[in-house]
Amino acid sequence: MSDFEATKALFDLPDGMIYLDGNSLGPLPKAAAARVARTVTDEWGKMLITGWNKAGWMAQPTAIGDRIARLIGAEPGHVVMGDTLSIKVYQALASALELNPHRKVVLTDSGNFPSDIYMAEGLLKSLGKDYELRVVAPEDVRKNITEEIAVTMLTEVDYRTGRKHDMKHLTERAHAAGALTVWDLAHSAGAFPLHLAETGADFAVGCSYKYLNGGPGAPAFIYIAPQYRDHAHTVLNGWLGHATPFAFPLEYTPATGVDRMRIGTPAVVQMQILDAALDAWRGVDLNDLRAASVALSERLIAGVEANCPDLRLASPRDPEQRGSQVSFHFQDAYALCQALIARGIIGDFRAPDILRFGIAPLYIGTAEIDAAIAAISEIIKGRLWDRPEWKTRNAVT
Ligand SMILES: Cc1ncc(COP(=O)(O)O)c(C=O)c1O
């Protein structure tokens, strides 16, 4: 049985703050500061360049990839860390398209994160006029997976509403139609159990700064299925994806294995923070995490609906169809969010009218949910959100 009191004690949460934004940026693990100090002072400071070998910096992207693989149900040796998620979306999509060269249509949905869509547009533009990005409504994805589709590029959990696609079902449908799949797991990894190997997904990518608590700017991950791992074209042919980078040949020969998806120098300090953050998952059963997440989400929905009829649930009502976040529509969601933040209840706002709360049982329990319900109710009942100071938008919402 997972002990979520024990995992909560591993995080440095400011006194009085109720943090319901771990779906955007996870909180600081207490072990991170000491790990950074060790990396900077003892490794970089004392070992300098020899740290690449002595401190194992060069092996980190695959070593940490294996730790993430366990959390997403991937085979060991099939996940590697590096770069940002947007870059990994580009790389995975380009690589998948090359594996299906006679088809030119990429299917995605309007619930996808805009950066994925922008990256796909940029890629397809450079590939030529015969390529097309087809964007359909999330509920229409299945029926649009036709024999024209080269690759489906989908984010499993919608960043605004928390609506969750059926990854296994859509992957099977894509394969039946002769398409490959690229799944973005930004809002899935660390949010609930994933069974990537079992679903048969071809490529998957994700970030590690949300539910995995790797800190701002933490590296992304990429997964390639076993059948492509040793021959997929890496597209972004960086030297650290080369079979023999330190032989410095001028011809590019990709490494065997998932190492080929590496590009350039890894962000060592960020990798170490992530490695320390991943210790929080020791002893956590992801099925317990999911059960706790559903119970907390149901509690939040029931409490808000009972007290605040002005807020309308934006997330699916059926927990099976939700990730690990709960969102509500409200006409002045930005102002409401700011009023909550001023009381130490941290959620966030997504345009045009969504208030989001991330549910992370590693450090959120019923006391936090009840406090959030009480604060939302008070602010709504007293119209306390309706003040000019809560309506000026910050650059980051
Ligand atoms: C689903 C999804 N995809 C892609 C991105 C972009 O990630 P990055 O800024 O790390 O490139 C995000 C960022 O939040 C996201 O939520």
DSSP assignment letter at 255 = P
According to the model, what pLDDT value does residue 296 have?
98
Does residue 293 contact residue 161 with C-beta atoms inside 8 Å? no
Confidence of residue 260 (pLDDT cuts 50, 70, 90): very high
DSSP assignment letter at 387 = S
DSSP assignment letter at 296 = H
Task: Give CA–CA dist 345/20, Å, rounded.
Answer: 7
Q: Is 23 in the pocket of ligand 1 (CB under 6 A)?
A: no
Contact partners, residue 352, CB within 8 Å, separation at least 6? none
Distance 21 CA to ligand 1 centre (A): 15
Among 23, 85, 119, 156, the mutation site with the greatest number of ligand 1 atoms within 8 A of its Cβ is 85
Among 81, 109, 115, the mutation site with the greatest number of ligand 1 atoms within 8 A of its Cβ is 115
Q: Is 109 in the pocket of ligand 1 (CB under 6 A)?
A: no
What pTM was computed for the model? 0.97
Distance 185 CA to ligand 1 centre (A): 10
According to the model, what pLDDT value does residue 128 have?
92
According to the model, what pLDDT value does residue 367 have?
97
First and final C-alpha spacing in the chain? 36
Average pLDDT over residues 372-384: 96
**What are the pLDDT digits (tens) for 340-373?**
999 999 999 999 999 999 999 999 999 999 999 9
| DSSP labels, 53-112 | HHT-GGGHHHHHHHHHHHHHTPPTTSEEE-S-HHHHHHHHHHHHHHTSTT--EEEEETTS
Among 207, 211, 274, 396, the mutation site with the greatest number of ligand 1 atoms within 8 A of its Cβ is 207
According to the model, what pLDDT value does residue 58 have?
97
Average pLDDT over residues 197-206: 98
Sign of CA dihedral 103, 105, 111, 116: positive
According to the model, what pLDDT value does residue 393 have?
83
State both tokens at 365: 């329990």
Enumerate the H helices of the chain as residue ranges: 4-8, 31-37, 46-47, 51-54, 60-72, 85-98, 114-127, 167-176, 196-199, 226-229, 268-278, 286-307, 333-342, 366-381
Residue 29 vs residues 17, 36, 205: alpha-carbon distances, Å: 15, 11, 23
Task: Give CA–CA dist 192/23, Å, rounded.
Answer: 12
Distance 334 CA to ligand 1 centre (A): 21
Shortest-distance Cα residue to atom 3 of ligand 1: 113
**What are the pLDDT digits (tens) for 173-186?**
999 999 999 999 99
Distance 219 CA to ligand 1 centre (A): 11
Does residue 163 contact residue 135 with C-beta atoms inside 8 Å? no
Task: Give CA–CA dist 187/191, Å, rounded.
Answer: 7
Q: Among all chains, which residue has been given the structure tokens 């008070």?
A: 378
**What are the pLDDT digits (tens) for 39-85?**
999 999 999 999 999 999 999 999 999 999 999 999 999 999 999 99
Task: Give CA–CA dist 93/131, Å, rounded.
Answer: 13
Catalytic residues: 113, 184, 209-210, 356
Q: Is 208 in the pocket of ligand 1 (CB under 6 A)?
A: no
Residue 26 vs residues 20, 138, 343, 383: alpha-carbon distances, Å: 9, 27, 19, 30
Ligand 1 atom nearest to CA at 86: 11
Q: For the chain, percent helix, then strand, then coil, each to nearest 5?
A: 45, 15, 40
According to the model, what pLDDT value does residue 231 have?
92
According to the model, what pLDDT value does residue 396 have?
80
Does residue 341 contact residue 389 with C-beta atoms inside 8 Å? no
**H or E, element range at 312:** strand 312-313
- Tell me which residue of 34, 71, 64 sits closest to 281, measured CA to CA: 71
Does residue 199 contact residue 205 with C-beta atoms inside 8 Å? no
Q: Is 181 in the pocket of ligand 1 (CB under 6 A)?
A: no
Task: Give CA–CA dist 367/301, Å, rounded.
Answer: 15
- Indicate whether 397 pLDDT > 80: no
Give the chain's mean pLDDT: 97
Does residue 187 contact residue 206 with C-beta atoms inside 8 Å? no
- Indicate whether 395 pLDDT > 90: no
Residue type, 105: V
Average pLDDT over residues 101-117: 98
